[in-house]
Amino acid sequence: MKYFEISDADNKSIRISRIILGGVQFGTTLTREQSFELMDKYIERGGNTFDTARVYCDWLENGHSASERTIGEWIKSRNNRKEIILATKGGHPAAAGVSRLSKEDILGDMDKSLETLQTDYVDLYLLHRDDVNIPVNEIMDTLHILVQQGKARAVGVSNWTCERIKEANAYAMEYDKTKLVISQIQWSLAECFPQNFNDLTLVCMNPKEYRQYVEMGMPVMAYSSQANGLYSKANERGLEYVPSKLQKFLTLENINRYNNLLKLCRKKGYSRTAVALNYIMDNRLNGSAIIGCTNLDQLNDCMMAAEITLTEEEIEMLV
């Protein structure tokens, strides 16, 4: 397995696997037993980091907090809290245009997450969305409270722009508050846009954000790291035969990248999934890939990516 390290608020190391197991389907689409099996196998293959969120599964009947609840039950049954890295998110909007980043919202979400996860702290706590109408100092002051209370070892954000992150950390530096140390946005070999996911509140990797992340040196946890399986689901007949729901990703740029992917896979003898994930993990931008799997075959295919390495030249060949 490949790993990277960040420092928590006490300057202690947090060692994170570059393949992160996403739990968005745990306890709903995947049963409790199936979820436990995937988590066990993931640990067996060298992974150590789990990504969830307070809001995950809330959109399904009887799904409220199912992801956090299932992960919490698994941790308790395996008695392995100190052996894993646990990341969750809060502050997700209640509805379109309805922000939930007040002090009360953030602190309340954290307490509910800890209760559901059956733990007294998380290693990484990220805010699920931004609201640029809220002064960044108010948000950072609240995150600082969570760290001071020992409920989060480190904090980060999801779906924030680099400009907003830099503004937040400038405030933290000036007023001796806890800094943001990690970011989670959409990033994959396929070029994506918020419109592809029918959610304009998302932030997708683009050339401007990429340059700024490299300059900042901030690690990125990439969600939708395989663009909903765009390249892995293409069969022998070609990319145009992917499921209809993925047709929206078929831009000229992504078709070109797919052809580059096939060439490199043939040359190296690697799977499309492994190469696409290594585009993130071996990138000069410090990246890790959140994966979403529904069975052991998919998990094993993803975990194979940790056993290979792409050179800088090969990374550049893909795009």
Catalytic residues: 56
Q: How would you classify the pairing of strands 13-17 and 3-7?
A: antiparallel
What DSSP assignment string belongs to 30-53? B-HHHHHHHHHHHHHTT--EEE--
Residue 297 C-beta-side C-alpha neighbours within 13 Å: 2
Cβ atoms 14, 29 nearer than 8 A: no
Measured CA to CA, the distance from residue 182 to residue 8 in angstroms comes to 11
Q: Which of 73, 133, 54 is nearest to 98 (CA)?
A: 133
Between CA 69 and CA 114 the distance in angstroms is: 10
**Residue carrying the six token digits 């395989």:** 226
Distance spanning both ends of the chain, measured CA to CA = 25
Residues ≥6 apart with Cβ < 8 Å to 289: 18, 19, 20, 222, 225, 226, 277, 280, 281, 302, 305
